[in-house]
Chains A and B, each alone.
Chain A
Amino acid sequence: MAAALLEPALLRRLEGLALQVRRAVSGQMGGERRSRKRGRSIEFADFRNYTPGDDFRLIDWNAYARLDRFMLRLFVAEEELPLSLFVDLSGSMDWGSPNKAVTARRLAGAIAYVALAALDRVRLTVFADAPTSGGAPYRGRRAAAQLFARLQSFPAGGVTNYERLVWPIGRQRPGMSVLITDGLGEPAMDAALGALQRAHQEGAVLQLLAPQEITPDWSGDARLKDAETGLEREFTATPLTQSAYVNALARRTTEIERAAHRRGLRFARLSSAEPIDEMVQRTLRRIGLLG
């Protein structure tokens, strides 16, 4: 199953990467992430006075010898990173060549695999007109195949509704969230981005577009049909109208980027024609999502 979504060679290369967090996180289980909680790791954090009930294994005997006081030695806890993947599988994503939905699944799989390889916990949510949970959180590299299969099991379709993402986002523990979408749904995604900020999520918004929608490759008379709503409009494409469309798309991209930055999120615009390897190794590392 995993091979169907991502090639083994790619998976091997992904194992060398890790999600980059800018601040410490707190998970439910141990992992490889610095946690705000003091815990067990080799990285010294602080001292404090011993109080009854403390784990006496943490008493710094050297300090007792010098100070004749019980001092507890505190270490930075290394915990798992809760990674939430929100993948847009609306009708507009099921478009383009290469298909954006396919690319979105692969990209989500790649990011998830990086997290799973680092023992981070991955929660998957796909959405179109309503969010659908991808099941219980995935943890460990062995869960990757299951996650990939789950990703592929969701069909693309429906109308994008970012506002309905607010509730599932609000339930997230502080951690990292990655939103993969084309950003073309008519209701603005600002509500969803605001929810990410309120839920103390750091992460990224990855706008995935097909090359044909970045640069329309047709002209002349056509009947345009909206991939999501099915609305139709007769249209005559001229250089002037094509230019107006490109400008509108650029404005939309800029709006999303600004909104993301305002919420402390990273942003990248990706083309579905770009190989996943390129996206991960170059673009996602460039924006600091992976390292």
Chain B
Amino acid sequence: MTFLAPAAAVLALTIPAIVALYFLKIRRPTRIVPALHLWPNQIRDRQANVPWQRLRPSWLLFLQLLAAAVLVAAALQPALPAGAALARHSLVLVDASASMQATDLTPSRLAEARRQVNAVIDQLGPSDRMTIIAVGPTARIVASVTGDRDALHRAVNGIRASNGPADLASALILAAGLVRPGDDARAYLFSDGIVQPLRASFAAGLPFPVEYHRVGVSGENVGLTALTVRTSAQTRAAYLHVQNFGQQARSVSVEWRADGRLLDIRSLALAAGQAQDVLLPVPSDATSVTARLDGSDVFALDDSATAVAKTPRAFRVLLVTPGNVFLEKALRLRADLQIDVVAPAAYRPSAAYAMTVFDRFAPPTMPDGPVLIVDPPDGSALAGGKPVGIGRVRAADAGDQLLANVDLQDVHVARSQDLRSSTFGRPLITSQQTPLVLVREEPFRQVLFGFDLHESDLPLRIAFPILTQNLSEWMLPPSVPSHSFHPDEPVTIVPETGATSVNVIRPDGNRRSIAPGSIATFGDTDTTGVYTVEQVVSGKVERSWFSVNLFSDTISQLKPPDRLTLPPTRTATIQATHHGQLEIWPWIALAALGIVAAEWLAFHRGL
């Protein structure tokens, strides 16, 4: 609390003065009256006798002292600090991520954040400006560099929590872009601190300091963090991962439903921090299964999970090989691929296959479409130069998404064709001697391996099936991926060949149309639940599904960190700021008025 008029503290001398008046007697003249009983006796003087007297406890004295104290307090013009120093340009970052839906604060963390931001808005001076950025899966400016309090209130009250994470890095970059050099700017982050790690490099620091205002108190939450349906030859089962993120043991029950039909209810007892996997058989005809935790905790978003149980429509893939068990097994790991294996001699071009894999064989004419060619024989159009000895391999670009989770540390290649002069495409995996794996996007997504898999230990490494999966999904993305996505995560939808219309039906029933001619990225996935993709192919409606679930341990753990690691501030950018002030003296003065009125009443009632 600050005092705008500290000099008024001198008025506090009135307090001992009042007490002194009670000690000191006013010298009163004695007046003889004929009938004392006619004089109103409700007035009892509280002042003492000549010259001193013991201080008598008195309501009047108490009220007078209280009134004087409150009046002095009002005269000091106290102002509550904003909780932060206000800069001329305040950048308010409001966390609008999923965890802000938690109700450990009434009515929710986001509502509390909005309330706090509204309070900051009220403290803006006439020349102050504010920018409000909603920090969700994407950062969004809801009010830009304005001093219009009404507009700011409207903007902050219009912020709704998403179901996704908080991309603080994007928000800070966005905010930094709004600050000009020399600006007196300061950022205020109203968040529960559950944000995505700051991937972006802020080594140079931000042009403004950032204050973290923690919103949220409790991490008591039980959540569902994974649900998958696995299909084997015999059974189909759903695997559910339930975790108690809180510090107290919890008993919960899980309600299982398949396409809305109740399957089972299981009770679970979870100690603090304990996780448990639950397995449930899934009927063969079920399209989706839903698990729901009973009761209510402070975070509802992770209390239900949905998984698609239906096997996605299969792609036919032709593997032309003299025999390669590694490659065949790696391809078969993908559930939506139907692999036909033929010997090179039996190869006939066919349009029925969505993708063709040539192992140590090259047809005279490459089929139109995705192709994976491994070690093309000499003389073929794609063959490289004379084989060279290789040894260790490495990624051409470590950040390439096609090599995601592919560990090439212990991979060795004995020999490979020399692809240095190949014009096939860009290298994906390379060595000191020559590029080893090339990829290209035009005219079709195709991959060229320059070495025989049998002359490498790659098939023996865990990297191989992952690499195969990455490459096959890149070349042949599933029409509609059946696994679970996170909220706001874009979903790639490849319309069926000949599809005349493609619609996505969201869990809330809303339909979104997609252009049927090309691969589309569907980003309207903020709601959790099952999304249905309807495609009309040759007059027939074909349906496929994907699900969106929170499935985030980071968010479900809910516990707001006390401190948040934020990017440093450039020293030179620290500006003089002034404190936001909420002047409360009018309220104190009002209270003083009430006390004075009470004192007047007390005086006249002879208290």
Give A contacts to B, CB under 8 Å.
Answer: 91-93, 95-96, 100, 182, 184-186, 210, 213, 218, 221-229, 231-236, 240-241, 244-245, 248-249, 252
Contacts and interface: CB of A to CB of B under 8 A. Distances in A.
B31 A233 contact: no
Contacts of B45: 221, 234-236
Interface stretch (B36-44, B80-88, B422-430, B496-504): B36-44
A165 B9 CA distance: 66
Interface string B78-115: 00000000000000000000000000000000000000
B40 A241 contact: yes
Contacts of B38: 184, 245, 248-249, 252
A225 B31 contact: yes
A218 to B, nearest CB: 7
Contacts of B44: 234
Contacts of B28: 221-223, 234
A229 B36 contact: yes
A221 B32 contact: no
Given A186-B35, A224-B31, A226-B32, 9 more contacts: A95-B34, A221-B29, A222-B28, A222-B29, A224-B30, A226-B33, A226-B35, A240-B604, A252-B38
B391 to A, nearest CB: 110
B26 interface: yes
Q: B29, B33, B37, B41 — which one has the most chain A CB atoms within 10 A of its CB?
A: B33
A133 B39 CA distance: 33
A235 B30 contact: no
Contacts of A226: 32-37
Nearest to A91: B34
A287 B31 CA distance: 34
Contacts of B39: 224, 233, 235, 241, 244-245, 248
Contacts of B40: 241, 244-245, 248
Q: B28, B35, B604 — which one has the most chain A CB atoms within 10 A of its CB?
A: B35
A36 B555 CA distance: 118
Contacts of B35: 92, 182, 184-186, 213, 226-228
Q: A93, A235, A244, A252 — which one has the most chain B CB atoms within 10 A of its CB?
A: A235
Given A235-B39, A235-B45, A241-B43, A227 B30 contact: no
Contacts of A186: 35, 37
Contacts of B37: 186, 226
Q: B28, B38, B41, B604 — which one has the most chain A CB atoms within 10 A of its CB?
A: B38
Interface of B: 26, 28-41, 43-45, 47, 604
A245 B44 CA distance: 15
A36 B455 CA distance: 164
A226 B41 CA distance: 13
Nearest to A232: B30
Q: 6 shortest A-B CB distances, which residue pairs?
A: A92-B34, A184-B35, A226-B36, A234-B45, A244-B40, A248-B38
Contacts of A93: 34
Contacts of B43: 235-236, 241
Contacts of B604: 240
A185 B38 CA distance: 10
5 contacts: A213-B33, A226-B37, A228-B35, A235-B43, A245-B38
A68 B512 CA distance: 148
Contacts of B33: 95, 213, 224-227
Contact of B32 (A100, A227, A235): A227
A206 to B, nearest CB: 16
Nearest to A244: B40
A213 B39 CA distance: 11
Contacts of B26: 221
Contacts of A213: 33-35
Contact of A182 (B30, B31, B34): B34
B43 to A, nearest CB: 6
Nearest to A248: B38
A221 B36 CA distance: 15
A217 to B, nearest CB: 11
A90 to B, nearest CB: 9
A157 to B, nearest CB: 13
A224 B29 contact: no
Given A233-B41, A235-B43, A236-B43, A223 B31 contact: yes
Contacts of A92: 34-35
Q: A182, A218, A241 — which one has the most chain B CB atoms within 10 A of its CB?
A: A241
A128 B43 CA distance: 30
Contacts of B41: 233
Contacts of A184: 34-35, 38
B34 A225 contact: no
Q: B39, B40, B604 — which one has the most chain A CB atoms within 10 A of its CB?
A: B39
B53 to A, nearest CB: 12
A185 B37 CA distance: 9
A225 B29 contact: no
Contacts of B29: 221-223
A128 B38 CA distance: 19
B600 to A, nearest CB: 11
A44 B31 CA distance: 61
B38 to A, nearest CB: 4
Nearest to A186: B37
